[in-house]
Amino acid sequence: MGLLILSKRLLKPEEIIGSIAVISLKKGLKFHLEERDKTVKNYIDLYLAKRYDQNEDEQYFYLGLENDQIEITHKNQLFYRLGITDQADYDRLMYDFSLEYLRLNPDHCISFYGETFFFLEDLEKIDADRGYFEDWCFTSLS
């Protein structure tokens, strides 16, 4: 699964980190910045994780916040890719993160592989209807 954070305006990674720290505190996520490679200046890696059940492994993903933001068009609307994961098999953690992120940043969008797009109203509809379910991220509403 590749989660993308999209915005209609360009933002510096530093502007997004505050939202992610708030989400981490609110949802009980582990959160830390990875040591920055001095030769690579175009992104910052964040680590987010949570153990939902003591009998299961910790769910986690690395989120790369980008300085050089790629443009993505969805329904004739231009977005900038602020952050991306290239690995993330934990759809529960992605759901919790995405819903809280959009609640803090309602003008942003979450996409998976650039194929399914979720705005705040989409995730709130899923949350009100049935909440988290496996493969929620493949349910395109927008």
- Residue 1 pLDDT > 60, yes or no? no
For the chain, how big is the Rg over CA atoms in Å?
Answer: 14
Buried b (16+ CB within 10 A) or exposed e, 84-96: bbeebebbebbbb
Element (H, E) at 26: helix 13-27
Instruction: Grade residue 88 by pLDDT with cuts at 50, 70 and 90.
Output: low
Residues 114-123 pLDDT 10s = 889 999 999 9
Domain boundaries, the chain: 3-138
pLDDT of residue 39: 62
Q: Which residues are registered as beta bridge partners of 84?
A: 4, 64
Q: Determine if the pTM surpasses 0.85.
A: yes
